[in-house]
Amino acid sequence: MDQKTMEILKGLKGRSLMAPFDFSVEELDALFCLGDDIIDHPEKYAAICSNKILATLFYEPSTRTRLSFETAMCRLGGKVIGFADPKASSVSKGETIGDTARIIGGYADIMAMRHFVEGAQKAAAMSCSIPVINAGDGGHQHPTQTLADLMTIHRLKGHFDNLTIGMCGDLKYGRTVHSLLMAMSRYENVKFVFVAPDELKMPQHLIEELGDSISFVETKSMEEAMPQLDVLYMTRVQQERFDDKEQYERLKDSYILDKEKMALAKEDMMVLHPLPRVNEIEFDVDEDPRALYFDQAIYGMYVRMALIVALLGLEPGVTTWEKTKRLPIEIHPEAKAVPCTNPKCVTNNDRAVKPLARPTEDGHWACEYCDTVMK
């Protein structure tokens, strides 16, 4: 890595990651360069976290994300504590997110948290003294999955600009597509094709928030979209996000990728999927060299290794027992105690977290935790 990249990485020390926009394009590029170096020279990083502890707090089921974080820390020479079932923690006794985070902050050096409540990680980060990584908060954000997506594109395409990206399936509740859309909107000449039924369309508030920074079309036809795409991002219809189970049953098989549809695509198109899949990708598609979702999971581990190293401010060959202190979480200077209307927001689910909203350019208020706009 060159000196400029190393200087950019130093600026990430002590930071927390809540959403894709938390890092600039230059910071993301530096993080991917670090990921490249870890992939190419793993021996340099095998003991870099030898005196460090990662805490994984998973309030929702997870296989890839949790094990990816834990494997990342192990491969860096560190240790892992945490839980995968909140029923086995003091949460079951009524402990608040902030109290849990404050206690864990005294034990560990860095924290990765997944929670079904939107904005929970920001509340946790504001309560503890160590860097916090959002490993998914309800239907809101999943920034490290976005890092995995981008790292895969970076390694296999070599660039982010001038790409046409198709997003297919559950675009309403899919936090992975929300985060990827936000991240990719910052690169030059990126076009999006949204493939979804009316009930699962990309949320209008996200499109309005990004404004002129995105170019997109919407369609209900996979066959129509396939020939245009450089990247196809498939998603499952998430049963756990539906309050209406009849609607889920009606929509769960809306889009299925098979060999016939793959035949319509470019020879170098990439198929990505955050996994797990249910039935939206036929198993025989796995044999196609363009099916890269299992590679994507491996790149996710490497970029999480890079993220841990960067947020802790570590350097190869340098051992330290000193804990990295979390930098302040940014709150809009004009934020006020405006109640959030989102029932899934942390302010409506944790008695210790008070409402806080920032003014928007069009005269409304947006929640500082879950970004819901109150109109």
3-142+298-312: CATH topology is: Rossmann fold (3.40.50)
- Residue 259 structure tokens: 């060999």
- Residue 141 structure tokens: 């954000």
d(CA 245, CA 247): 5
Give the CATH H-level superfamily of domain 143-297. Answer: Aspartate/ornithine carbamoyltransferase (3.40.50.1370)
pLDDT along the chain (375 residues), means of 10: 94 95 95 98 96 95 92 98 82 88 97 96 96 92 94 96 95 86 92 90 85 89 95 80 57 80 97 91 97 97 98 90 93 96 96 96 94 88
Residue 112 bridge partners (DSSP): 56, 133
Per-residue b or e along 214-248, where b marks 16 or more CB atoms closer than 10 Å to that residue's CB:
bebeeeeebeebbebbbbbbbbbbbeebbeeeeeb
Amino acid identity, residue 272? Answer: L
Closest by CA to 83, choosing from 75, 103, 230, 283, is 103
Quickly list H helices, 92-236.
97-107, 120-125, 143-157, 175-184, 204-210, 222-225
CB 183 within 8 A of CB 219: no
Range list for CATH 3.40.50.1370 in the chain: 3-142+298-312, 143-297
- Which are the contacts of 313, defined by CB distance < 8 A and separation ≥ 6? 10, 12, 13, 14, 324
Architecture of domain 334-375: Roll (2.30)
- Residue 343 structure tokens: 């029932």
CB 185 within 8 A of CB 207: no
CB 327 within 8 A of CB 14: yes
Closest by CA to 117, choosing from 147, 99, 140, 96, is 140
Range list for CATH 2.30.30 in the chain: 334-375
- Residue 102 has a CB neighbour count (10 Å cut-off) of 14
What pTM does this model have? Answer: 0.91
